[in-house]
Amino acid sequence: MNAALEQIKQEIISGAEEVKSSKEAYEFRKKFLDGKTGKIGLLMREMKNIPPEQRADYGKGVNELKEWAMGIISELDIKMKSKELLERYEAEKIDISLPAEKSEQGNLHPITLIRNQLIDIFAGMGFEIFDGPEIETDYYNFTALNTPQDHPARDMQDTFYLSPEFLLRTQTSAGQIHVMENKKPPIKILSPGKVFRSDDDATHSPMFTQMEGLVVDKGITLCDLQGMLDVFVKKIYGENTKTRLRPSYFPFTEPSVEVDCSCFECGGKGCKLCKGTGWIEILGAGVVNDKVLENCGVDPNEYSGFAFGIGIERTAMLKYGINNIKLLFESDLRVLKQLND
């Protein structure tokens, strides 16, 4: 065996131990295996100086050395790289219990959430959405709704007046009249919006949100109201929710009903939320009074309808367990951030 080959072999064996990084491994490879300058490469070039009869052996020896060196150095390279990867990971060791960095997503107001939910349910049943004005005339808010000037029902609501004729609407029912004046039946509308009453305590706010629904078509009856309410409460409060109608009074509907649904907290057994009754009052409704239809030029001999009005704040407060209505209008971020539904 050529002593030179042997020497290089020894050099590689001892040199490999000195290699401490993948960069050194790369240099080490270059030192021996570079085609032009590497020591093994140079041995190949020596071939011409080797006597011809030894050339075969020499060549074989060099090739064997080269194969061997490639193996050693590759192994060395892999070893260094995996060592370095590990070191890099270790250097990047972090405290995973440190607080998260969030990209903040805001959310819609709970009133908007409930409103959207209701709109989704009713839009699917064919209801259009109508926005009426918040400033209304006495006529649209009261008179056309069968509540003339000296009607006792006016005492039910404390009205904010802007002038003898104009007022802040006390009910979204005012929108009914605008719709019926401008559209012939079949009518299915939902009229959500802000309404105003001079009332101010933990459960009453001078401004709140109602959603009025109105259906006018041929042959509409109280049974249709019951059927629609059943679908509605099941969708919003769950499949097992039941409804109960009980007599009430609104000037613009006759018969008028108050609608209760079985308590979604206790399922009707009686709890704090439903004050032990098993029922929760959710909305007022009724068959549209013929006088209202007549006021809007709709013939009550041909058409009939039903209407209902839902208080959105009440629904939101029940759903999210909010105890003071004021919290809904203060934009306290500590409140708003919790209501991410």
Chain residues 140-159 in contact with another protein, contact rule CB under 8 A: 149-153, 155-156
Q: What minimum distance in Å lies between the beta carbon of 156 and another protein?
A: 6
Show contacts with another protein in window 42-61 (CB under 8 A): none
* Residue 270 near another protein by CB under 8 A: no
- Write out the two tokens for 89: 């990971």
Q: Which stretch binds another protein (CB under 8 A): 20-28, 37-45, 90-98, 125-133?
A: 125-133
| Beta-carbon contacts of residue 206 (< 8 Å; ≥ 6 apart) | 160, 196, 197, 198, 199, 200
Share of the chain residues as helix, strand and coil, in percent rounded to the nearest 5? 45, 20, 35
- Does residue 238 interact with another protein by CB under 8 A? no
Q: What angle do CA 74, 11, 71 make, to 5 degrees?
A: 20
Site residues (CB under 8 A) for another protein, limited to 105-124:
105-109, 111-112, 116, 119, 122-124
Residue that has been written with the tokens 């009869």 in this structure: 53
CA neighbor of 259 nearest in space, from 316, 309, 321: 309
Which of 89, 103, 201, 239 contacts another protein by CB under 8 A?
103
Which of 11, 77, 254, 265 forms a contact with another protein (CB under 8 A)?
254
| Torsion angle of C-alpha atoms 65, 66, 70, 72, degrees rounded to 10 | 10
| Site size with another protein, rule: CB under 8 A | 86
Query: Per CB under 8 A, does 324 bind another protein?
Result: no
Q: How far is the CB of 267 from another protein (least distance, A)?
A: 19
Spatial neighbors of 39 by CB under 8 A, at least 6 apart, are 8, 11, 31, 32
**Could you give the 3-state DSSP secondary structure of residue 338?**
coil
CA distance 195 to 73: 83
Question: Which residue from 34, 128, 294, 302 is in contact with another protein, where contact means CB under 8 A?
Answer: 128
Q: Which stretch binds another protein (CB under 8 A): 61-69, 77-85, 88-96, 253-261?
A: 253-261
Cβ atoms of 81 and 22 within 8 Å: the answer is yes
- Give the footprint of another protein on residues 164-223 (CB under 8 A): 165-166, 168, 186-188, 190, 194, 196, 198, 200, 206-207, 215, 217-223
Question: Shortest gap between Cβ of 181 and another protein (angstroms)?
Answer: 14
Determine, following the binding rule CB under 8 A, whether residue 257 of this chain makes contact with another protein: yes
